[in-house]
Structure 1
Amino acid sequence: MIEDYIKLFVMVILTSFSQIFIKIGSSKIKTNSGLLVLIKTFFNYNIIIGIIFVAAAPLLYFSALSSVPLNIAFSVNGLGYIIVIVLGKLVLKEHISVFHITGGLLILGGFIVWNLGVGIY
């Protein structure tokens, strides 16, 4: 059963990293032409990695749902917001405002409170 919780956390990490890869790849495409964007996207390795991560994440989620209650499994998704904020700062050098920090702490607090009732902590 612990491996299913690990699958959930790996799913969130994959989803979060997929956003970073897709953002990096998208920023390298400098055209507005529909067909050209499609071609450049198809050959952009950052976007391809992001899509692979996004495709793998639900497989882990479906597998974990076999033994993890839905209310716990779904709550883990919220941690992705926190991971993306941190990755955005570390990898993309994006600005983190006090609102991002406050929101992230509220999400983390909500996750902890939500899961206290089901004995995960």
Structure 2
Amino acid sequence: MALRKEVLSLYRHIIRLSYKWESALGNPGSDGEEQKYVREEARRLFKKNKEITDEEEIRQHLKEGQTRLELAIHYKNPYPRPVHLPQHVLHSPKDKRLKAQRRKLEQSKPIYIKSYEDES
């Protein structure tokens, strides 16, 4: 029950923030576009994950949501931050170290981008 309150609190916080969102670009038209993006992205991800019952997985998604929210507020950019992968793990696909490469890539993926691993 405590996790439910945390999830709903995070959702309400994101939706409230979306109505007050001001674009860092300074263009009056971009405010509405970014506000709409924040609301639609929150609704999409919360609906996508509403059937999750594992507490640890819920906690991971909460941490991801809070991290993305903090990054958006700090950088004044609601869109996902680019991911820069370490160069030493980028070998050719024919390389025998493919399994190790996948593991290193997974370990280097930041928490705020975990929701996109199913879609990419």
TM score, norm. by length of structure 1: 0.30
**Bigger helix fraction:** 1
TM score, norm. by length of structure 2: 0.30
Comparing both chains, which one has the higher relative contact order based on Cα–Cα distances under 8 Å and sequence gaps of 6 or more? 1
